[in-house]
Structure 1
């Protein structure tokens, strides 16, 4: 059995968090998919994933922070926007509503939360290379 030494910031540990921890080690598929094509497919199949149109609006805003056109291994799929900038890209969605929809995306397994020790989203870089990033893994 694997031991997780710390719980996510400000939340209790649940079964979904344990499953997300297992997914962190799983590699992305060999075939790199266009992030906007994935978004269109999710829009069509949103009922199967149990997400609403507002959840997808937040996911769309998260995808807009990803600098590459595809979601591929090695590109770094973690984005770390602040709630304020995420709210702007979600067409002015209030931050309280934004947090609720982010939680729904995490619960559905579409994104994985990488919490820093203080609960902030940020990245440390060495030149152009990301060393460590805390935020949402797409």
Structure 2
């Protein structure tokens, strides 16, 4: 009879541990925003977790043939709940610039957001929007 009580206790303990593990798992939401203009294509990937954290990966690609001619490159991202940008950036050997940003708290991105992008280079400016591609 002692073994049965020990087995029941062990099963109960395993069940409790399993429930705790399931409850502690974080779920995430993956949002993919895309858009382009005459000379630029951009993607913004946002991974949201339950603990109010967002990881944003931004990719900006020059659509022209001579990416080496691009100088004084800068971009600005304007979303409903945040804005950020960078200046004096350089494209890689395939004409792409990539960056990522980790944020916590009120900087929340919604799947219905429209993200406005401004790109400046060589004295030129182009504005376009990114939309979520579900």
TM-score interval (norm. to shorter): under 0.3
Choose between structure 1 and 2: higher helix proportion. 1
Q: Which has the larger radius of gyration?
A: 2
State TM-score, norm by structure 1: 0.27
State TM-score, norm by structure 2: 0.27
